[in-house]
Amino acid sequence: MYVDLRKEDGVAVLTIDRPEALNAMNVDMLAELRETIEQVEGDDDILVLVVTGTGKAFIAGADIAHMKDFSSRQAKEWSEYGQDTVGMLEKMKKPVIAAVNGYALGGGTELAMACDIRVASDKAVFGQPEVKLGMIAGFGGTQRLPRLVGPGKAKEMLFTGDHYDAQAAYEMGLVNKVVSADELMDYCLDMAKRIASCGKLAVRLSKEAVDHGQEMDLEKALHLESSLYAVVFSTDEPCEGCGAFLEKREPKWTSS
């Protein structure tokens, strides 16, 4: 078992658990990760997902021994399988927070970038070191990284293969926040609980508006926003939320 899933009060924590290999990804781990993501997506009791790693690493890339003797065809299949697995996190209707506890290299940075929000421990290290192994990023790094930090910084990371500490990652816009290692999970769980306390449909449609809107020109994106705004008002969430605010009580959400 390479993936552990625990849930409580609407929040699930998915932990990558292969510490003896710094949580490096292999085929079995990706298969288990896919299965777990599907489980989370189908569980209505889970409103927010937090992803983290065991030990010194978040995910220290893919298993190099596994890739060493790939043929061109095998490399393409591995890349597509990894892209699809990482993409499952990005496409989840529920918010996903990456709690980056340590080394997030190669596929680790790529998986973190597929999450909605990234919080880094002050011990976290990021990088796309694939060129130092004679290959390129294959799980989405060449595409998501420039979208997050801009093409210039992305090319620097992808061309040099250098490592970047948590503060450098924060300054370039790769992570939302840096906290001490001792505070990391408490900070992420507190954020997850605050998200889970909001309107269920409102949070889901906010994610949809941002993700899909980025693929459109501004005029079409604004039309999407108005359409989704109307969808929320086809449910009782706005009435309950506004009523709770006016009555100075906690809202009781029923829609999903």
pLDDT digits (tens, 9 = 90+) for 56-108: 999 998 888 888 889 999 999 999 999 999 999 999 999 999 999 999 999 99
Mean pLDDT, residues 29-42: 97
Q: How many CB atoms lie within 10 A of CB 206?
A: 17
- Identify the active-site residue in 80, 130, 208, 250: 130
Q: Please give the pLDDT value at position 68.
A: 86
Q: What confidence tier does 255 reach under pLDDT thresholds 50, 70, 90?
A: low
Q: What confidence tier does 199 reach under pLDDT thresholds 50, 70, 90?
A: very high
Which CATH code is given to the segment(s) 200-247?
A: 1.10.12.10
- Cβ-proximal residues to 121 (8 Å cutoff; 6+ apart), any chain: 99, 100, 101, 102, 166, 178, 179, 180, 181, 184
Q: Which CATH superfamily is domain 3-196 in?
A: 2-enoyl-CoA Hydratase; Chain A, domain 1 (3.90.226.10)
Q: Is 237 one of the annotated active-site residues of the chain?
A: no
- Identify the active-site residue in 41, 77, 110, 219: 110
Give the global pTM.
0.95
User: How far does Cα 15 stand from its chain's mean position?
Assistant: 13
User: Could you state, in order of their start, the residue ranges of all structural domains in the chain?
Assistant: 3-196, 200-247
Q: Is 110 one of the annotated active-site residues of the chain?
A: yes
Mean pLDDT, residues 4-13: 96
